[in-house]
Each structure stands twice: as C-alpha cells, then as structure tokens.
C-alpha cells in the first residue's frame, strides 16, 4: 500500500450490504485507508465478511468499531440512521468525518444530527449506484465508477474535510456534486423513488391480474416489463424505509405523475395521436441525454448481450 494513496488511517463502514461491501472492496483495491473496519449487527453478515476477507477488523460492536476511526460511513436502511448514531455518537473521534450512503437526505440529517458530538464533521452523501442484489456478496469495487455521489453538507462544514471526503469518493470512481438535502430528496423522488414505486406497482398488478396467468407473465416478458421486474427485485426493507422517510417529496411527484397519467388516458381515449407523439418525442430526447452523459449504454436490447 502506497502512503501517497492513503486518505484515512482508519476507515469504518457500518452496514455491510451491497454499498458497504463495495466501499470496503474499492478502498482496499485503491489503498485509501491503512485499516479497514467492518461492522454489522447481523452475526451471519459478520461471519460472511470475515470469510470474504474484505476488512482488517469485523465486529458486531458498533461502538468499538468507530473507536479511533478517522472516517465512519453508515450504510444502513433509511430508518436506522438515528439509532446507529445514538450508539456510536459518544465514541466518535474528534475531527473524524462521519457520513452515510442513504438515498434520502432530509430524514437522515434529522435523525443523526442530535447524536453527533461537537468536533466531528458530518457530510451526508448518497452514491447514486446500485444493483437489485443485496448482502456482502453483492458488492464489487467498480460499483461507483462513473456514477454520481451527491453530498448535502451543512453550510458551515470545514472546507478541508469536505475536500478530503470528496477526494475519497472521486478515488472510488465517483463524480461528486453538492446540493441541499431538500433539493436532493426532490430530485431523487423523480429519478429513483417514484420509478421504483411504479415498478413495484406494475409488477404487483401483473401478479394480481386474474386473466393472465403467472406463467404467461414470465414467458412473454418483453423488455419493458422485464426491466420493471429487475427494479422491483430491489431490497424491500431499504425501499420501505425510503418511501416512509421521503414521503413529502414522493407524494409531491406522485401527484404530478397522476395528473400527467390522466392526460395520457384522455389522449388515448379520444384518439389524440398528436399529443402522444409529442410526449414520446420529448421523452426520447431525455433518454438520449442520459446516454450522452455516460449514465447508460446505447446498445440495443437494454445493453444486454444476446442470450441473457
């Protein structure tokens, strides 16, 4: 390990699922910390992390895990940040950076802030990356490559600590942008949370439709429904907590979505093809912009290789 690459003497990750295990793998691969500490309340997870050998220390004792850590990252469900912060708060090292990876920021800030002592530097963050898989085996070092990590720090954050933590995520492969927690939650309601809710709903609708058998739904799955099932296979605990903790922004976007859906219903009912064509043309341009920014592939069939 080159000393030039080390950003933290001791990095602690709490919650070793897809994101947490990917951070550990990437940090080790890039030599970003001298000592990697993994903590999880699950005995099964701790045992598996030890078998995978992706950390130097693995424990179920959250307070012991953060002792002496220069950086602590919480990778737990959105509803658990407050309880974890309460356990570790008094044991955090003065001057340490503490962060999270939650996909809701307003609720995380509200949950954690009361338990964080003076002298630590709280930098809420959200790596916009993931798969439908979960658990320590699901992680991989390249997960964050060319993906965004959104920071939502307080205005009075120490600039040097913010720069240091930005460098950490950039070395993990991410592009970093800062915004307020409120703006983040509205943006993610549009780009992630409501699309997931729609996916869960349409897959549930197909499952409940009495005139279409389950075997037919599976057998004749076209690209659109197939991708809905991929999204709907995401961790149910995480997404339950996301919707409950970002309810204001989600309900606001759902209200607008319902209005736009009613507009489409009317256009289809009255045969107004010009309105449908105009919308589909506009939305096609959005897809092209996502590809141009490198956030998706332009390959046919949703980027899948033939035979998948």
What pLDDT, in 10s, does the model give residues 138-160?
A: 999 999 999 999 999 999 999 99
Domain range for 221: 183-271
Same domain, 171 and 192: no
In a domain, 303, yes or no: no
Phi, psi of 198 (to 5 degrees): -65, -40
Same domain, 168 and 187: no
Which residues contact residue 207 at a Cβ distance below 8 angstroms, ignoring those fewer than 6 apart? 214, 217
pLDDT at 303 (0 to 100): 45
Tokens of 112: 């954690």
For the cut 90, the answer to whether the pLDDT of residue 230 exceeds it is no
In a domain, 172, yes or no: yes
Same domain, 57 and 10: yes
Same domain, 44 and 150: yes
Domain CATH for 229: 1.10.3660.10
Local structure of 178: helix, strand or coil: strand
Domain CATH for 97: 3.40.50.720
For the cut 50, the answer to whether the pLDDT of residue 89 exceeds it is yes
In a domain, 14, yes or no: yes
Q: What kind and span of H or E run contains 80?
A: none
Q: What is the mean pLDDT of residues 232-239?
A: 77
For the cut 60, the answer to whether the pLDDT of residue 50 exceeds it is yes
- Domain closes at, from 179, 199, 231: 179
pLDDT 10s digits, 179-222: 999 999 999 898 888 888 888 887 777 777 655 555 666 666 55
In a domain, 294, yes or no: no
Same domain, 150 and 53: yes
In a domain, 283, yes or no: no
For the cut 90, the answer to whether the pLDDT of residue 58 exceeds it is yes
Highest mean pLDDT among 110-114, 207-211, 273-277: 110-114
What is the DSSP pairing of strand 97-100 with strand 121-123? parallel
Higher confidence at residue 2 or residue 29? 29
Same domain, 191 and 229: yes
Same domain, 260 and 175: no
CA atoms within 13 A on the CB side of 190: 6
What is the DSSP pairing of strand 148-151 with strand 175-178? parallel
pLDDT at 125 (0 to 100): 97
Extended strands (E) in 119-208? 121-123, 125-127, 148-151, 175-178
Same domain, 28 and 148: yes
Q: How many residues does the chain have?
A: 308
Same domain, 231 and 166: no
Q: Where are the alpha helices (H) located in the chain, listed in sequence order?
A: 18-30, 43-52, 62-66, 81-88, 106-112, 159-171, 181-188, 194-208, 214-219, 223-232, 236-245, 247-269, 273-292
In a domain, 288, yes or no: no
In a domain, 225, yes or no: yes
In a domain, 264, yes or no: yes
- Domain closes at, from 179, 194, 214: 179
Same domain, 23 and 164: yes
| Mean pLDDT score of the chain | 87
Q: How many domains does the chain have?
A: 2
Same domain, 175 and 187: no
Which residues contact residue 170 at a Cβ distance below 8 angstroms, ignoring those fewer than 6 apart? 176
pLDDT above 70 covers a percentage of the chain that reads 85
Range with lowest mean pLDDT among 52-61, 66-75, 194-203: 194-203
């Amino acid at each position: 390990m080159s000393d030039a690459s080390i950003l933290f003497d001791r990095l602690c990750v709490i919650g070793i699922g897809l994101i947490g295990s990917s951070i550990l793998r990437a940090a080790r691969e890039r030599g970003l910390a001298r000592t990697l500490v993994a903590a999880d309340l699950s005995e099964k997870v701790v045992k598996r992390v030890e078998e995978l050998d992706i950390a130097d220390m693995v424990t179920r004792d959250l307070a012991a895990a953060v002792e002496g850590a220069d950086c602590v990252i919480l990778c737990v469900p959105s509803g658990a940040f407050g309880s974890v912060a309460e356990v570790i708060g008094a044991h955090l090292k003065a001057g340490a950076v503490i962060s999270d990876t939650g996909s809701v920021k307003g609720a995380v800030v509200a949950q954690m802030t009361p338990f964080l002592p003076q002298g630590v530097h709280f930098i809420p963050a959200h790596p916009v990356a993931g798969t439908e898989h979960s658990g320590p085996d699901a992680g991989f070092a390249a997960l964050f490559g060319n993906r965004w990590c959104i920071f939502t720090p307080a205005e009075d954050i120490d600039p040097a600590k913010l720069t240091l933590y930005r460098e950490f995520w950039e070395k993990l492969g991410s592009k970093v942008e800062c915004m307020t927690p409120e703006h983040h939650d509205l943006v993610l309601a549009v780009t992630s949370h409501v699309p997931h809710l729609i996916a869960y709903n349409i897959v549930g609708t197909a499952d409940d439709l009495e005139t279409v058998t389950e075997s037919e739904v599976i057998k004749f799955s076209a690209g659109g429904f197939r991708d809905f099932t991929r999204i709907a296979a995401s961790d149910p605990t995480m997404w339950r907590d996301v919707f409950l903790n970002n309810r204001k922004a989600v309900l606001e976007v759902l209200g607008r979505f319902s209005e736009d859906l009613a507009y489409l219903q009317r256009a289809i009912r009255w045969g107004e093809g010009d309105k449908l064509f105009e919308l589909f043309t506009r939305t096609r341009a959005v897809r092209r912009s996502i590809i141009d920014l490198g956030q998706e592939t332009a390959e046919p069939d949703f980027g899948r290789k033939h035979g998948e």
